[in-house]
Structure 1
Amino acid sequence: MRRLLLAAVMLGTVSAAHAADMPDLPILRGSFTDGLSKTSHNWDGAYVGGSAGYTADASDFSQSVVGLTNFIFRDSVLQQPTASWSLLNKTNTQSTSFSAFVGRNWQWYDAIMGLEGTYSYFNNLATSTSGSNSLTIVNPAGDTHAANVTDNYDVTLTGTAAAKVKDMITLRGRVGWDGGDFMPYAFAGAAVGRMDVSRTVTSNVDLRQDVTNSVTNGLGVVVTTTTFGLPVAVPAQSQTQVQRRTNAFAVGWTAGLGVEYCIWDGLFARVEYEYVKFSPVMNTSVTLNNARVGLGYKF
């Protein structure tokens, strides 16, 4: 019995010594768990920055002069037939833009929410268009004339329109995700733009009255003849109307996507795309597509 106890003690001593000589395995230090975790970046806090980019402007002038033509033909038989005339087209232009932004992020685990205000200046973001249309309107509704008289109104409209977007401010809500040094985000909010808008329309209206008479000759045959009249100007509807608004404010909405990258400490870079839609100003609608790159600093 004593021999068995002595052998057990000696075996335990050898096993302890052998365990002490074993290398310190990483799994014993907990490095396996650390290897599964990701490096997180703190995006919470206030930040400021600036950016530069490229802006594409799409201006819709198709209804720009409708208000002026309705004024010219108001209370006349020509108002209804000309109310839907579209003289002008959509145009596109491009320019550079420069922006400054300030905002605040709030972070919960990997989720980030924020509120940001921006100011953007556009470098000569201006476009214009012109067009004309001619039409003969025969016996329009409400026109009074003799039964054998046909009224032919020869109407010619010539119009021009122009729009220049000067600058813009936006208030945007942001939702992002903490991807370590990267933070992809989406945003949406309100926009207010300042622009110069002008429109001009010139109308020329002539009235030609054709007289049709039917007579029966000696053979009992009815002979119909039409006498074409000479065009006579209609001064009340032949005029030019001009309207201009300088520094007009247009409200709208904005939405887009972007990504930020932490360069060092609080310094970060940004790339984003932004879509902006403004409400019409003098029946002229403006849409912007902005692509920007920028730098910012989070405090």
Structure 2
Amino acid sequence: MRSVGLCGLLLAALGTSSFAADMPVLRGSQGLMPSEPTYFRWQGVYLGGHVSYSAGNADFSNGSGDLVSYILRNTIEENEMGVSRWTTLPSKNGMTGAGWGGYIGYNAQWDDAVLGIEFNYTRIGQKATASDTMSRYQLLSDNYIHSVNLTTGAGIDLTDLATLRLRGGWAASWFMPYAFIGVAAGRADLTRTATVSETVYDANWNYLYRVSPMTRADNRTGAWGFGYSAGLGIDVALMANIFLRAEYEYVYFGDFQDMKVTVNTVRGGLGVKF
């Protein structure tokens, strides 16, 4: 009887296993194995070319002060009237022009975060000029009335623009928006002139004498100015190693011979990634 009972239990166990093997698998009864996310690879060296359009502003207000100071050095007019500090020249908007150039850089990537460094160059053509005249009179410590007339002029032709940038981007599949900051260098041809003339009267406005106009000029070719840049852009991958670019950049130059220049540029370009 004991043998018969053991055989029965064995047959029951085999039947249960066969039945369980034939049962359908219920949805959700097995654990899901999520795949690791994949990102388009922006890492590596890249280079490209671009075309651009720029609009800028030139602040000439302090552009002639050193010339006037030299003309009137060690004079009572400069010491008491401060002629070199007169603001005669205005700011000029409308510095516009098309340009072209190129860039080269390197990206490092961690998942969807991209950090990089880039050198960007643009051959640019932006010009502005300004001129003005100002007259003032004052009774000075010599008890004479000095009537001083100041005529100044300045011009700038910005020819080259280069920036060295730090970029931060987000690898959103096949496109990468980015922001950047950097240092900027510009090269320009500059012209500056200042002419000072003077008429002297006694304290009762009786004419005494007139000082002939004195002029000083400063013309420079290929003068350098330095500043900073910042901007936004987007790279769009067309293929694994070819991408399109669109960006906006703001550049500020604080000292082109005491003249300040700002440049706003939009660019479109094509690049290759290695």
TM over 0.5: yes
Q: Structure 1 CA distance, aligned partners of 2:29 and 2:272?
A: 39
CA gap 1:39/1:17 in 2 versus in 1, 3 angstroms: same
- What residue in structure 2 maps to residue 14 of structure 1? 19
- What residue in structure 2 maps to residue 234 of structure 1? 211
CA contact (8 A) 2:117 2:167 kept: yes
**Superposition deviation, residue 11 in structure 1:** 3.8
- What residue in structure 1 maps to residue 241 of structure 2? 266
Q: Give the root-mean-square deviation of aligned CA atoms.
A: 2.3
**Superposition deviation, residue 68 in structure 1:** 1.2
**Superposition deviation, residue 42 in structure 1:** 1.0
- What residue in structure 1 maps to residue 101 of structure 2? 99
Aligned positions of 1:132-143 closer than 5 A: 132-139=133-140, 143=141
Flag as ranges the 4+ runs of structure 1 deviating above 6 A: none
Letter in 1 for 2:260: S
Q: Structure 2 CA distance, aligned partners of 1:52 and 1:29?
A: 54
CA gap 1:27/1:245 in 2 versus in 1, 3 angstroms: farther
For structure 2, which runs of at least 5 residues remain unmatched after alignment? Answer: none
Q: Structure 2 CA distance, aligned partners of 1:288 and 1:27?
A: 63
Asked whether 1:286 is paired with 2:225, we answer: no
CA contact (8 A) 1:184 1:260 kept: yes
Q: Deviations over 1:228-253 (max 9, x none)?
A: 41252023xx3122211111111222
CA gap 1:56/1:258 in 2 versus in 1, 3 angstroms: same
Asked whether 1:160 is paired with 2:162, we answer: no
Q: Report the TM-score, using the length of structure 1 for normalisation.
A: 0.81
Q: Report the TM-score, using the length of structure 2 for normalisation.
A: 0.88
**Superposition deviation, residue 179 in structure 1:** 2.1
- What residue in structure 1 maps to residue 198 of structure 2? 205
Q: Structure 2 CA distance, aligned partners of 1:102 and 1:83?
A: 44
More off after superposition, 57-66 vs 171-180: 171-180
**Superposition deviation, residue 6 in structure 1:** 4.1
SS at match of 2:256: coil
- What residue in structure 2 maps to residue 77 of structure 1? 76
**Superposition deviation, residue 7 in structure 1:** 4.5
For structure 1, which runs of at least 5 residues remain unmatched after alignment? Answer: 145-149, 212-227
CA contact (8 A) 1:54 1:94 kept: yes
Q: Structure 2 CA distance, aligned partners of 1:111 and 1:290?
A: 26
Asked whether 1:169 is paired with 2:174, we answer: no
CA contact (8 A) 1:117 1:170 kept: yes
- What residue in structure 2 maps to residue 63 of structure 1? 62
Report the count of equivalent residues: 266
Q: Structure 2 CA distance, aligned partners of 1:6 and 1:279?
A: 95
CA contact (8 A) 1:38 1:180 kept: no
Asked whether 1:188 is paired with 2:188, we answer: no
